[in-house]
Amino acid sequence: MTMTQADFAAIHPMQRAPSEMPVASSILPQPIKHDAPPTAGARPPLTVRHLTSLAQISREDWDRMFTGRVEGWDYFRACAFAATPSLAATALVAYAEGLPVAAVPLFQIRYRLDMDLPDGLRPVVGLVGRVAPNLVRINVLSMGSPLTEECPIGFHPSLSTTERARAFAALLDAMHRQSVLQGVSMLALKDVADADVAGIDDVMVQRGFTRVPTLPVATLHLPYKHEDEYLATLSSNMRRDLRRKMKNGGKVSVEVCHSIDGIEDEIVELFEETKAKCKIDYDGFDDVPAEYFRAVIASLGNKALIVLCRIDGVLAGFSLSLIEQNRVIGKYVGMRYPLAREHDVYFINWMTVVRYCIANGITWLQAGQTTYKQKIRLGCQLKRSWVYFKHRGLLLGAVVRSVGRRMRFDLLDPDLKTDADALPYLNATVSPPTPQLPRD
């Protein structure tokens, strides 16, 4: 069962990207000028462009603003290649004298308002929905992506803190204007990481946005040389239980690779089976296109980590993670029930990823926004995450601000409702950094 450093070193990369993906175009869309004029004799004026595709900006220019992130140009181009119309994403890019200096993905989604309301307000909203359904299910234009756990806001590394705030304000004003063009009244930022709040909160408050907590990201710190050091940090019950599960997993064959060639349909089938068992419906935010797995894995090559667990030749479970220099981002898992449960495939998969991180000196494992109770038992802490939102309407804007302050998106998950204040949250100042990626 145990994979050694040599086993992991033997994993071979795939070709970088599918041939169907178009290359970057030099054609740029119509620019949107930032409202605020630059200070005389100082900073150059900013121009914001709404890109309908990342093919309209080079990989080099985009990734320079998102240094070290595996969810960069290649990832979002693959997501666009796989996307259904409901997940079609665009981007806003701020330019200073022709140089891209700030960027953020943008997406539009039809959102069900009653999904995140306190229990006491749901009957009222349900009544409104029967009379005027368009008031309950509304279009939202949002920064971020349904296919990331953090809102990716990128800046050119040469920008100072003040210049970043100015560039972000330009992006925010451009999103406002874009919402007018698209006839969308609700604006949002999805999954802003706790560590990023300080840099944007003043700008958001000035522009009338409300901030509320959303689902945190389970995060495991692994500054260890051997898995026994990790196991020693767990409770005695969890440690004993985990060792028993690993010992009893002798029938499970584990493969760590970068390819799903020939098993794409099985991967989608297992993912959909696992998604169907989820106790909570997050509506459109749960949508993952069937083509996502093939496109992303092919595009990222050896930065995509796949764990395949088979029992007597039958694929019983898989996981997809993305590899950065000092962080592994767990994206999606799929299990075949009841086979996977009978053979503790979830835990075997977990320990395989943990062993990969330790063997490669990767000290942070981002474990996603599900099954918090189990992940806390496995040593995870929670990284806070936030949603910002506003309605452009005068009357409805006031109503949304009033009702919105009572929302707690994080408490939608039953694992987070009990003893919420006692949960092990990470301090924003010690959240994992996003380091440089190694060059290919």
| DSSP-assigned states of every residue in 103-151 | EEEEEEEEEEGGGGS-GGGHHHHHHHHHH-GGGTEEEEEEES-TT-SS-
Please report which helix (H) or strand (E) contains residue 131, including its range: helix 122-131
Most confident of 20-34, 198-212, 392-406: 198-212
Distances (CA, A) of 397 to 189, 208, 392, 394, 400: 16, 9, 6, 5, 5
The residue assigned the tokens 């307000």 is: 121
Q: CATH number of the domain that 237 lies in?
A: 3.40.630.30
Looking at 329, 354, 382, the residue that finishes a domain is: 382
Q: For residue 280, what pLDDT is reported?
A: 67
- The residues, ordered by sequence, that sit 6+ positions from 229 with a Cβ below 8 Å of its Cβ are none
The encoded tokens of residue 27 equal 């054609």
Distances (CA, A) of 103 to 34, 131, 147, 390: 14, 40, 17, 21
**Position 104 pLDDT exceeds 80:** yes
61-95 pLDDT, tens digit each: 999 999 999 999 999 999 998 876 656 679 999 99
**Position 402 pLDDT exceeds 90:** no
Q: For residue 431, what pLDDT is reported?
A: 58
Do residues 160 and 246 share a domain? Answer: no
Q: For residue 13, what pLDDT is reported?
A: 35
Q: For residue 17, what pLDDT is reported?
A: 39
Query: Measured between alpha carbons, how far is 66 from 46 in angstroms, rounded to an integer?
Result: 19
In a domain, 437, yes or no: no
Share of the chain above pLDDT 90, in %: 63
Are the beta carbons of 204 and 348 closer than 8 angstroms?
A: no
- DSSP SS3 for 90: strand
In a domain, 18, yes or no: no
239-265 pLDDT, tens digit each: 999 999 988 777 999 999 999 999 999
Put residue 217 in one of left, alpha, beta given phi > 0 → left and psi -120 to 50 → alpha: beta
Q: For residue 281, what pLDDT is reported?
A: 61
| DSSP-assigned states of every residue in 199-217 | HHHHHHHHTT-EEEEEEEE
Are the beta carbons of 270 and 315 closer than 8 angstroms?
A: yes
Closest by Cα among 266, 285, 286 to 276? 286
Do residues 120 and 228 share a domain? Answer: no
Distance of CA 304 to the CA centre of its chain: 15
Query: Measured between alpha carbons, how far is 437 from 258 in angstroms, rounded to an integer?
Result: 17
Among 72-76, 165-169, 368-372, 378-382, name the one with the lowest average pLDDT: 368-372
Do residues 202 and 265 share a domain? Answer: no
Q: Please name the amino acid found at residue 228.
A: D
Residues spanned by the domain of 322 = 5-11+218-382
Do residues 119 and 80 share a domain? Answer: yes
- DSSP SS3 for 286: helix
In a domain, 23, yes or no: no
In a domain, 24, yes or no: no
Closest by Cα among 306, 370, 311 to 342? 311
223-246 pLDDT, tens digit each: 999 999 999 999 999 999 999 998
Mean pLDDT across the chain, nearest whole number? 83
Do residues 140 and 283 share a domain? Answer: no
Are the beta carbons of 354 and 305 closer than 8 angstroms?
A: no
Q: What is the mean pLDDT of residues 168-191?
A: 95
Do residues 95 and 56 share a domain? Answer: yes
Q: For residue 89, what pLDDT is reported?
A: 76
In a domain, 433, yes or no: no
In a domain, 436, yes or no: no
Q: For residue 4, what pLDDT is reported?
A: 47
Are the beta carbons of 150 and 142 closer than 8 angstroms?
A: no
Q: How confident is the model at residue 129 (pLDDT cuts 50, 70, 90)?
A: very low
Distances (CA, A) of 123 to 127, 136, 232, 413: 6, 12, 48, 20
In a domain, 37, yes or no: yes
Are the beta carbons of 103 and 156 closer than 8 angstroms?
A: no
The encoded tokens of residue 121 equal 């307000």
Q: Is the dihedral of CA 278, 280, 281, 286 positive or negative?
A: negative
Query: Measured between alpha carbons, how far is 307 from 72 in angstroms, rounded to an integer?
Result: 22
